[in-house]
Amino acid sequence: MTYKYAISFRIDTETHIHTYSERYSTFMEQVRKTGSWEETTSFALTTSTETIETLVDRLYFQSHFNATYDLMIVVDIERGVAVTKGKVEYPATLGSKLNKLAQK
């Protein structure tokens, strides 16, 4: 099955084990493996046969993304289901806009 996803993210500008540039470039390398559309800043649309949980895990574990400082949300745009990684400051507000929200 092919899923349609929106990926939004924020990479903290401070250097924590890896620089902003390292975290951004390795994260985008993983996003680009899906053949994504990414003409706007910190946002991509893509399709994938990966489940939402598998995609989030790959974006996290195969990049230098730092969940202590960075934030990503992957939304299955057909089902209204989302998974986040990192600190969401307003999870109730985000969750109210979706059918289901999971924080990893």
* Strand order through the sheet with 43-48: 43-48, 3-10, 71-76, 81-86, 100-103
Percent share of the chain, pLDDT over 90: 91
- What tens digit of pLDDT does each residue of 88-101 get? 999 999 999 999 99
Range 37-61 average pLDDT: 95
- Please name the residue that has the structure tokens 């939004």: 8
Sign of torsion over alpha carbons 81, 83, 88, 91: positive
- Please name the residue that has the structure tokens 């053949």: 35
* Domains in the chain: boundaries: 3-103
Record the pTM: 0.91
Nearest Cα residue to 42 out of 13, 62, 68: 13
Chain centroid to CA 44: how far? 9
Which pLDDT belongs to residue 51? Answer: 97
- What tens digit of pLDDT does each residue of 54-88 get? 999 999 999 999 999 999 999 999 999 999 999 99
Which pLDDT belongs to residue 15? Answer: 81
